[in-house]
A and B are shown apart, each in its own frame.
Chain A
Amino acid sequence: MAIYESDLPGVGKKFEVELDGEERLIIVTHNTGKREVFLKPDADADGEKLFEVSDRLARTIGTILEGAYFQPVQTERVETMLSDETFIEWYGVSEDAELAGRTLAEARVRERTGVSIVAIQRDDEVVPAPSPDTVIEAGDTLVVVGDREDCREFETLLGTVDEP
């Protein structure tokens, strides 16, 4: 396998990847970050454009191809990635949760787990910026921001019935 790299002044860079046989994959990386991907049946043929994607999408596709990117779809909870290591998650508060009935100040969630409760969904209402004396009730949905490990910590806090 050979990869040819060349500069395209005013445009960006071009990578030409030899595939099995005569085929070549051409990737044009624009200065703007956009990627255009072409396929040539052989070295002398004209490139046929397959698709073009933004910088961000190209990186995601790249990591999938690399085998490094795996984000399982989980139906029991909603999870949104803010960045590589920060998530927004939605957690339901069950009847027997230790947090139910306590104020945020009493629950000391941030000290104990590292996550922040940024909003509380209660029935059809949303408490956008809960204050320390907001009471968490059973049936609430807590909107939580934190990194993966802190979120896991918070899950155990929700799951365990009580804690000394």
Chain B
Amino acid sequence: MAETALIDVGVLFATVAVAGLVANRLDQSVIPFYIVAGILLSPYVLGSLDLPALLGTGAVPHGEALALSGESEFVHLGAELGIVFLLFFLGLEFNLDRLLDARERIGKAGTVDLAINFGIGLLLGYALFGAFVPAFFVAGIVYISSSAIITKSLLDLGWIANDEADPMLGTLVYEDLFIAVYLAVAAALAVGGGDLGAAARSIGLAIGFILALLLLVSLGTAWFQRSLDTDTNEFVVLRAIGITVLIAGAALALGVSEAVAAFFVGMAFSSTDHVHDLERLLEPVRDTFAAIFFFWIGLETDPRLFLGVAGLVAVAAALTTPSKLVSGYLGGRIYGLDERRSLRVGLGMTTRGEFSLIIASVALAGADAALAEVAGTIYAFAVGYVLVMSVLGTSLMGYSDRIESVVVPRLESPRGGAAPTDD
């Protein structure tokens, strides 16, 4: 791994900060901007520019010396911490009792969403790669909506006060639970490569680890409660990070997904009295490292690969935008919403983001020689796909007024137009 100088870290954070500023000005989600900033500073773009020649002076270092490398230790570890904290928060929000209260509606809407979108992803992946493992990765990437972007958009647009927020957030919870299990299997599949026997062994290990964690979570509540019983914010933050990163790191050392481990640690804390403090204190920590994660995703992306996957991204976007619209619409109907609000649920759920990228990085990190080339393609596909879907999804939500005024009358009078449902 390459060394990272302090100036590199400074460049990283300054770039991310500027990217965030630009995103904010343009009223867009920050995630695609962080990724693009990463791409621009990567060895593939900045590294290939011959700055001295462009400027006609030898005083400026050559491009390669300026570019940040995704291989550099700090950025890579920062990105990994980003994954850990993103999943930790998922677990933290994941209150089993609350979920059980609404299990019927969440279960139905979530299953419709899973069946339609994961199903289409599997078919698409299999049609393109002709094998199960890559199809499994593509399915995960196109299935999971972005909790981060969608929740933020709900708040920005004020939809949070409306009825459509319930099915959207409920379905996101279902997806999040699914993704925790999915990541465990995906990490095992990636390590096992194409060999199903090896994959089965690592899946066995992963499931064993999950069961051990579940046991720890259910028996250890008192311990997790005591572990943070302290008055100073400093100790709460340090202890929470200490516990989370230690367990996640141990999981990774054992060959199990660190993200899944972090999810369960978050779940363990969700039943303590400290949830509020943790959310308040660790949110900035999560956002800082999540920004590094998205930036790192960009650094690792060779934009030339986009040319190779552009067609694939286009096909996937063309297939999975309508599929989320339909599954979201049906989810809204399951929640008893009218046509207009159900349509909004569909518009809102089309955004894909952080989890698709986490899946892609799992695929890339675990891939051995047998899978390396396919994993590279899947990775480039995921980045391109997320760039398209995050911007498209936020725009669909932003322009929902106009879309509603066109679509809703047709939904309401099925005989009058090409309505996709029988309602």
Is B161 a contact of A40 with CB atoms below 8 Å? Answer: yes
Which stretch of A25-33, A73-81, A84-92, A105-113 is in the interface? A25-33
Which stretch of A43-51, A129-137, A141-149 is in the interface? A43-51
CA distance A11 to B94 in the complex (A): 12
Is B158 a contact of A10 with CB atoms below 8 Å? Answer: no
Q: A6-B166, A11-B154, A11-B155 are in contact. Are A38 and B98 (CB under 8 A)?
A: no
Q: Identify the interface centre among A6, A7, A9, A47: most chain B CB within 10 Å of its CB.
A: A9
Q: A10-B93, A10-B147 are in contact. Are A31 and B160 (CB under 8 A)?
A: no
Minimal Cβ-Cβ distance residue in A for B89 = A10
Q: How many residues of A contact B (CB 8 A)?
A: 20
Smallest distance from the beta carbon of B182 to chain A beta carbons, Å?
Answer: 18
Q: Identify the interface centre among B89, B98, B162: most chain A CB within 10 Å of its CB.
A: B162
Residues of A within 8 A of B155 (CB): 11
Q: A28-B160, A38-B158 are in contact. Are A8 and B165 (CB under 8 A)?
A: yes
Counting contact residues on chain B (CB < 8 A from A), the size range is: 20 to 34
Is A46 a contact of B162 with CB atoms below 8 Å? Answer: yes
The interface residues of chain B, by DSSP majority, are classed as: helix
Q: A-B contact count, CB below 8 Å? A: 56
Residues of B within 8 A of A8 (CB): 160, 165, 169
The interface residues of chain A, by DSSP majority, are classed as: strand
Is B160 a contact of A46 with CB atoms below 8 Å? Answer: no
Is A14 a contact of B160 with CB atoms below 8 Å? Answer: yes
Is B279 a contact of A47 with CB atoms below 8 Å? Answer: no
Residues of A within 8 A of B169 (CB): 8-11
Minimal Cβ-Cβ distance residue in B for A6 = B166
A18 at the interface (CB under 8 A from B): no
Q: Identify the interface centre among B94, B147, B166: most chain A CB within 10 Å of its CB.
A: B166
Smallest distance from the beta carbon of A55 to chain B beta carbons, Å?
Answer: 10
Question: Which residues of B in the span 90-106 have a Cβ within 8 Å of any Cβ on A?
Answer: 93-95, 98, 102
Minimal Cβ-Cβ distance residue in A for B155 = A11
A36 at the interface (CB under 8 A from B): yes
Residues of A within 8 A of B98 (CB): 7, 9
Smallest distance from the beta carbon of B11 to chain A beta carbons, Å?
Answer: 31
Is A32 a contact of B280 with CB atoms below 8 Å? Answer: yes
Is A31 a contact of B158 with CB atoms below 8 Å? Answer: no
Minimal Cβ-Cβ distance residue in A for B158 = A49
Residues of B within 8 A of A31 (CB): 275-276, 279-280
Smallest distance from the beta carbon of B318 to chain A beta carbons, Å?
Answer: 29
B338 at the interface (CB under 8 A from A): yes
Q: A9-B172, A10-B93, A11-B155 are in contact. Are A36 and B160 (CB under 8 A)?
A: yes
Is A49 a contact of B161 with CB atoms below 8 Å? Answer: yes
Minimal Cβ-Cβ distance residue in B for A26 = B161
B272-287 near A? 1/0 per residue, CB < 8 Å: 0001100110010000
Residues of A within 8 A of B276 (CB): 31
Residues of A within 8 A of B93 (CB): 9-10
Smallest distance from the beta carbon of A139 to chain B beta carbons, Å?
Answer: 42
Residues of A within 8 A of B279 (CB): 31-32
Residues of A within 8 A of B173 (CB): 9
Residues of B within 8 A of A14 (CB): 160-161, 165
Minimal Cβ-Cβ distance residue in A for B401 = A46
CA distance A6 to B167 in the complex (A): 11
Residues of B within 8 A of A49 (CB): 158, 161
CA distance A46 to B341 in the complex (A): 10
Smallest distance from the beta carbon of B170 to chain A beta carbons, Å?
Answer: 8
Is A38 a contact of B151 with CB atoms below 8 Å? Answer: no
Residues of B within 8 A of A6 (CB): 166
Smallest distance from the beta carbon of A46 to chain B beta carbons, Å?
Answer: 6
CA distance A17 to B125 in the complex (A): 47
Residues of B within 8 A of A26 (CB): 161
Given contacts A14-B160, A31-B280, A44-B338, 16 further A-B contacts (CB under 8 A): A7-B98, A8-B160, A9-B170, A9-B173, A10-B93, A11-B154, A11-B160, A14-B161, A28-B161, A31-B276, A32-B280, A38-B161, A46-B161, A46-B162, A47-B158, A48-B158
Interface residues in chain A, defined as those with a beta carbon under 8 Å from any beta carbon in chain B? 6-11, 14, 26, 28, 31-33, 36, 38, 40, 44, 46-49
Q: Can you identify 9 A-B contacts, CB atoms within 8 angstroms?
A: A8-B165, A9-B169, A10-B93, A11-B154, A11-B169, A31-B280, A46-B161, A47-B158, A48-B158
